[in-house]
Amino acid sequence: MASSPRPDPRDFRKRVTAREPVLGTFMKFTVPQPTEILGQIGYDFVMLDEEHSPWTREQLGVAYLGAKAYGTAAIVRVSRPDAASILSVLDDGAIGIMVPHVDTAQKARDVASWSRYKGGTRGSGISRGGDYGGAMGPGGIDGYYEWADGVTTVIAMIEDAAAIDNIEEITAVEGIDAFFLGRGDLGLSLSNVKGPKPTLDEAVKIAAEAVLRNGKALAAVCPSLNSDDAKAMKDLGVTVMLTGNDQAFMRMSAAAQLGHFKTLMKGE
C-alpha cells in the first residue's frame, strides 16, 4: 500500500518540469485494474499505450478513472499524432500525452500547439478533463484555459535518425515538457541509414545533451531498474523513468512461480 499523502496527479507536470524523479510503466492490458494496482503501490504515472495496444476511447476513459481513484497520473501514448487524437484523450481525462516519432521542429511545434489553449490550437471544450466545468473557477473560461495548460504534460519521443539531425531545433520548442529517448526504434532507424551515422549510444548522448541544454526533462524506459542500463540512464540525466509494462510484469512473475513450482514438486 502506498504511503499517504500522495502527490496530486495534476501536479505531475510541475514535478516533471522540476526534474523530480518519477516512475511509471507502459500499460498494454486494456482494462483499469492493472492501473489501479500500480497506483495503489505508489507508481507516479502510467503510460496507457494506445500506439501498440488496442485501447479504445471508452476503455481509456475507464482507465483514467482507475488512475484517478488511486492517485496516479494517466498519460497516453497516442497512436496518431494529430490534433483530434490529442484533443480526445485530454478532454476525456488524461493528465498528458506522449507523441511518437517527433523528428522535426515543426512536428514538435504542432504537438505543443494541439495540446495548449493559450498560444495553441487546442479546441475549446470542457468535459471530464475539466471536471465538467468544476475546474473553471472564478476566472471563468479564460481561467480554465490557463489552468488546463498548466496541468497538461506533453512528452515528445525522439526515435528517428532524422530527429538526431534536427535535435537542437526540436528540443528548443516551447510547450514540450519532456523528451523520451525511444532507443528501440532509434536503433532500428539508424540501422537503415546509408553512409556515416552515429552509433545508438552516441545518438542517445547527443539527444540527451540537447534536451537538458534546452531546459527540458529527459525520459526513458528500462526493462529492469536493477541494472547497469538503468544506472546509465540516471547518469545521463533521465528523471522520468519507465520500467517494463504490465504484460511483462505478469509474464516474469508467472514464469518465476512456475519455476518455483517445478522445483517444489521435484522435492529439491
Tens digit of each residue's pLDDT (9 = 90 or more) over 217-239: 999 999 999 999 999 999 999 99
CATH superfamily label, 9-266: Phosphoenolpyruvate-binding domains (3.20.20.60)
**65, 67, 68, 70: CA torsion to nearest 10:** 120
Of the given ranges (133-137, 164-168, 203-207), which has the lowest mean pLDDT? 133-137
- Per-residue pLDDT of 151-197, as tens digits, reads 999 999 999 999 999 999 999 999 999 999 999 999 999 999 998 89
Dig out the grid coordinates for 157 from the structure.
Answer: 519521443
Band of pLDDT at residue 4, cut at 50, 70 and 90: low
Identify the pLDDT of residue 268.
61
Radius of gyration of the chain from Cα atoms? Answer: 19
| Confidence band of 204 (pLDDT split at 50, 70, 90) | very high
pLDDT mean over 35-52: 96
**pTM listed for this prediction:** 0.94
Distance of CA 140 to the CA centre of its chain: 30
Taking the CB of residue 90, how many other CB atoms lie within 10 A of it? 27
The percentage of residues in the chain with a pLDDT greater than 70, rounded to a whole number, is 98
**Three-class DSSP category at 206:** helix
8 has pLDDT over 80? yes
| Per-domain boundaries in the chain | 9-266
Active-site residue (options: 8, 21, 33, 52):
52
Range from 120-124, 126-130, 141-145 carrying the lowest mean pLDDT: 126-130
pLDDT at 267: 77
Confidence of residue 1 (pLDDT cuts 50, 70, 90): very low
Clarify whether 101 is annotated catalytic. no
